[in-house]
Structure 1
Amino acid sequence: MADYLTDWDKDVENPAVDRMELYNKLLTHFNEQGQTDAEKCWRLVVICLILSDLQLKNKNKSEAKKWEEEAFKYAKKAVELDPKSMNVHKWYCAAVGRMAPHVSTKERIQMGHQFKEHRDIAVSIDNNDQLMHHMYGRWCWEVANLSFMERQIAKAFFRYTT
């Protein structure tokens, strides 16, 4: 099975490989094992986010959102399956970040807290992951750009100070 994941990791980086086929094969493998493999689960997050990007490129926002919701579903499942995996927490952060624009301000602030919590876990496991540091930088930028009203909501609901 390790060979399958190694090959899958190579294929997902190859733009010539059909993304839907990658998703379907991975989902089949994941389901055949009773949805208990965190390694496959976080990779489902990755491919769902890639499929979302492809939909956004085609200006199909509603279909992109469906893929982002699917990614978030798998991200939550992956955390349940292996809460000690850096990749699980990293891709949870990516999924929660992609969901944030689709929810209310209050939910977005809650998701920001979730992002920070999972980011802290990920870097405690592996502090050298460049993508994790990049995502954290983007998160800090988003927090710095909260509107006055969003800051007031954060203070009221979460005792958050900026």
Structure 2
Amino acid sequence: CKEIESEGTNTDTEEQSFPVPKPFNTHIEELKLDVLLQKADHLRVNESGKMESFELLCDHKEKFRDEIEFMWRFARAYGDMCELSTNAEEKKHYANIGKTLGERAITRAPLNGYCHLWYAVLCGCVSEFEGLQNKINYGHHFKEHLEVAIRLLPEEPFLYYLKGRYCYTISKLSWIEKKMAATLFGKIPSSTVQEALYNFLKAEELQPGFSLSNYMHLAKCYVDLGESQDAWKFCNLALLLPVVTKEVSLNSDNEHWCLRSTLQGCQFITEKTCVGKSTPLLLC
């Protein structure tokens, strides 16, 4: 998939191309927009499906690049590729291109909640490669566009999961991080574990069993609040979910071991795994 060119000039993010293997599209089938969008959505159930969805959108970008519903999905697909890549330069490349696409989408359709949602996510992806000051700056953008998306899409559980992640991260900021944020934006960002918990519970209310990662973060919140029985309950619920759910694919044990260690401190020890993959977010 060739990189998207900026209107007028190329950006630094587009100078180097990272080709993706194309085992799927040896023959390009021309699809109508509604069929293309439906197929791209349905493919995103696992890693290979996300790659295929990305290539499918690449194959149709010249025809549909100005269609809003195509634009935000293409930005989302670059976020998927950033998530799937194991190479730091590739991840940065995909994140920057996706953010550029997301910026165009919200400029063209400021009242489309999905444009704001995926622009926020791509800001989180880009923040992973920035220093503290830029991380905080992207964190501000993330929060701003996430709140717009929630106003426009109040029934979308993924948004509350993301807000929960944001609130949880902010609640854990160090003094120096809060001080720098205050210098940049005139006030210290604040949130609590209770606020994070509310948002994770809201995601679960809107779609029970939304994701294993949401259950895991519910457990972490309850551990922090000293409510070990609820933490144990959600850890067990996580074990019942498939490896991949709606938006969050899971392939890392790191957060599980952190959670398990905390549960052990509360005298709740499990020999099973409770795996969670974090969505790229700011300040993490």
Deviation by residue 1:82-106 (Cα, 9 ceiling, x = unmatched): 1111111111111111111211222
Cα distance in 1 between the residues matched to 2:184 and 2:82: 31
Normalized against structure 1, the TM-score is what? Answer: 0.86
Select between 91-100 and 9-18 the one with higher mean Cα deviation: 9-18
How many pairs align? Answer: 157
Match of 2:57 among 22, 26, 39: 26
More helix by share: 1
Q: Is the 8 A contact 1:30 1:37 kept in 2?
A: no
Query: Is 1:93 aligned to 2:114, yes or no?
Result: no
1:68 match: 95
Q: Is the 8 A contact 1:42 1:88 kept in 2?
A: yes
Query: How does 1:11-160 map onto structure 2 within 5 Å?
Result: 11-13=43-45, 15-17=47-49, 19=51, 21-33=52-64, 35-56=65-86, 60-160=87-187
Normalized against structure 2, the TM-score is what? Answer: 0.51
Please report the RMSD computed on the Cα atoms of aligned residues, expressed in angstroms: 1.8
Cα distance in 1 between the residues matched to 2:50 and 2:153: 31
For 2:94, the aligned partner's letter is W
Gaps of 5+ in 1: none
How far is 1:54 from its partner? Answer: 1.9
Q: Quick one: structure 1 residues 152 and 70, their matched pair in 2 at CA, closer, same or farther if it must change by over 3 Å?
A: same
Q: Is the 8 A contact 1:37 1:81 kept in 2?
A: no
How far is 1:53 from its partner? Answer: 2.0
SS of the residue 1:84 aligns to: coil
Select between 71-80 and 21-30 the one with higher mean Cα deviation: 21-30
Gaps of 5+ in 2: 1-32, 191-284
Deviation by residue 1:22-66 (Cα, 9 ceiling, x = unmatched): 323313423224x3212111111221122122213xxx2221221
How far is 1:15 from its partner? Answer: 4.6
SS of the residue 1:36 aligns to: coil
Cα distance in 2 between the residues matched to 1:91 and 1:160: 26
Q: Percent identity?
A: 22
The 4+ residue runs of structure 1 with deviation greater than 6 A are none
How far is 1:6 from its partner? Answer: 1.0
For 1:160, the aligned partner's letter is K
Deviation by residue 1:113-142 (Cα, 9 ceiling, x = unmatched): 111111111111121111100011111122
Q: Is the 8 A contact 2:50 2:80 kept in 1?
A: no
For 2:78, the aligned partner's letter is C
Cα distance in 2 between the residues matched to 1:64 and 1:94: 14
The structure that has the greater radius of gyration is 2
Query: Is 1:3 aligned to 2:30, yes or no?
Result: no
